[in-house]
Chain A
């Protein structure tokens, strides 16, 4: 049976967003600042699935550094003009820059986010 990719949005992505995304209630906020996609336009509120993955990266002399990979999953149908790389997003008060992306077949997109400052909720 062929896969109905259009149904993936309604059956999977939308359901996941409704369930897990931040920015949908008063307890969390996701605000996009479209400095690259819409220069001069004001920030606007949105939603996204926020993921923090701890990693160790290695510097000179194999010196280890504990850090994290931040990703924000978005549903492109939520946007009239979707964010692009270089846009900023403020998540619960912390500012990030959208850097790299992975797009899936259901028009979901996962952005790797770079922090403007250490996230006190992640790094003790």
Chain B
């Protein structure tokens, strides 16, 4: 069974520890993991909302313009991504720890103020527990999970005054940590290594040794046309 099946999305790649038999971490495609997390959250919350019609509108972008008849409305979207160095900044290829902040907003209206307060409190509890106790969603990164951890989350609410009804908007922000590694893309072939040895450093008077090492080249698997194409060892 594909990892993540049951959500309607797939996140079966192993990402943190790079073995030969696994797909490399996401390279050069910023936001992909963030979108997958949004997809996963939406799938879970749609399941939660579905049987009871808890949310009349569920969406992943701030558009189209919300109407009073769309309430209660749930919106899940990427608020921001914050990249920081994953290890030494001058060692090896470029690696980041990416903190993805996902915003989950619930807009409600047309109720007594006291009722609204209770409603969004229920929303906050339901959303947090639905996501963070879901074993598929929170499974470890090494086993196909979407993220390494949730270092912080926050809750706030606003009470819009310019509205035709008593309204409230619940704002949950969850931070998901992922690793994003940018492997260099090598476009030429490596045929030999040229190595200089010298005792005592560059200024030493000791005579150095230079070695040229021919590297074995893999034959193309399908080379019917006789070209000397070479793959591997790049």
In the complex, A62 Cα to B169 Cα: how many Å?
12
User: How close is A43's CB to chain B, nearest CB, in angstroms?
Assistant: 18
Interface pair A68/B164, CB less than 8 Å apart:
yes
Q: Pick from B66, B71, B162, B165: contact of A63, CB below 8 A.
A: B66
Interface pair A59/B169, CB less than 8 Å apart:
yes
Q: Considering the complex, give the chain B residue whose CB is closest to the CB of A58.
A: B160
Question: Interface size class for chain B?
Answer: 20 to 34
Q: Pick from A62, A63, A119: contact of B164, CB below 8 A.
A: A119
Interface pair A57/B162, CB less than 8 Å apart:
yes
Contact with A along B181-200 (1 / 0, CB 8 A): 00000000000000000000
In the complex, A60 Cα to B63 Cα: how many Å?
12
Residues 46 to 71 of chain B near chain A (Cβ within 8 Å): 62-63, 65-69, 71
Q: Point out residues on B near A: beta carbons under 8 Å.
A: 62-63, 65-69, 71, 75, 77, 79, 103, 105, 107, 110, 158, 160, 162-166, 169, 171
Chain B residues within 8 Å of A118, by CB: 68-69, 71, 110, 164-165
Chain A residues within 8 Å of B110, by CB: 115-118
Interface pair B166/A64, CB less than 8 Å apart:
no
Q: Considering the complex, give the chain B residue whose CB is closest to the CB of A68.
A: B164
Contact with B along A102-124 (1 / 0, CB 8 A): 00000000000011111100110
Can you list 7 A-B contacts (CB < 8 A)? Answer: A56-B65, A59-B105, A60-B105, A61-B103, A64-B62, A67-B164, A69-B164
Chain A residues within 8 Å of B162, by CB: 55, 57, 67, 69
Chain A residues within 8 Å of B107, by CB: 59, 65
Chain B residues within 8 Å of A114, by CB: 163-166
A101 interface hit (Cβ, 8 Å): no
In the complex, A68 Cα to B167 Cα: how many Å?
12
A97 interface hit (Cβ, 8 Å): yes
Interface pair A65/B65, CB less than 8 Å apart:
yes
Chain B residues within 8 Å of A70, by CB: 164
Interface pair B66/A59, CB less than 8 Å apart:
yes
Q: Considering the complex, give the chain A residue whose CB is closest to the CB of B64.
A: A64
A19 interface hit (Cβ, 8 Å): no
Interface pair A57/B62, CB less than 8 Å apart:
no
* Most chain B CB atoms below 10 A, which of A59, A64, A116, A122: A59
Chain A residues within 8 Å of B71, by CB: 118
A66 interface hit (Cβ, 8 Å): yes
Interface pair A123/B66, CB less than 8 Å apart:
no
User: How close is B102's CB to chain A, nearest CB, in angstroms?
Assistant: 11
Residues 29 to 80 of chain A near chain B (Cβ within 8 Å): 55-57, 59-70
